[in-house]
C-alpha cells in the first residue's frame, strides 16, 4: 500500500504551478549505511497531479494499492533550466 504523506507546489519552466503528491510505501526495509550501520526506512516518491491545493491537503492520509520500486532503464539526457540566460 501507498499512503499520501504530503504534497508540494511545483512550477513548470513555462511558469505554471501544479501540485505533486508525496507517496510513501508502508513496507519498511533495512538499509546498510556507508558507515556499516543498519537503519530502517521506507521508499518515497512524488507524483504530479492536476488536483487543487485544498484537494491535495484532503488527500493526506489516504491509501492506495501499489508499491514503489527502483527500475533500471536506459541512460538518457535532460536539461535543467536555471531560469537565467
DSSP per residue, 28-68 = -EEEE-TTS-EEEE--EEEEEE---HHHHHHHTT-EES---
Q: Report the share of the chain in percent with pLDDT over 70.
A: 95
Instruction: Using the predicted structure, report yes or no on whether residue 83 has a pLDDT greater than 80.
Output: no
User: Structurally, how many domains does the chain consist of?
Assistant: 1
pLDDT at residue number 85: 56
Is residue 9 within 8 Å of residue 28, measured between CB atoms?
no
pLDDT at residue number 27: 86
Q: Which residue has the higher pLDDT, 77 or 3?
A: 3
Question: What does the pLDDT look like over 9-52, one tens digit per residue?
Answer: 999 888 999 999 999 998 899 999 999 999 999 999 999 999 99
Question: Could you tell me which of 6, 48, 17, 42 has the C-alpha nearest to residue 27?
Answer: 42
Its domain, for residue 57, covers 2-63
Residue 43 lies in a domain: yes
C-alpha cell at 63: 491509501
Residue 36 lies in a domain: yes
Answering whether pTM is above 0.85, one says no
Residue 77 lies in a domain: no
Amino acid at each position: 500500500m501507498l499512503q499520501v504523506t504530503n504534497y508540494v507546489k511545483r512550477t513548470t519552466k513555462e511558469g505554471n504551478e501544479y501540485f505533486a503528491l508525496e507517496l510513501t510505501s508502508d513496507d519498511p526495509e533495512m538499509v546498510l549505511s556507508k558507515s556499516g550501520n543498519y537503519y530502517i526506512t521506507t521508499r518515497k516518491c512524488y507524483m504530479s497531479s492536476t488536483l487543487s491545493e485544498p484537494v491535495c491537503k484532503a488527500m493526506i492520509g489516504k491509501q492506495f494499492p501499489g508499491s514503489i520500486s527502483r527500475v533500471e532503464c536506459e541512460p538518457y539526457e535532460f536539461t535543467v533550466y536555471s531560469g537565467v540566460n
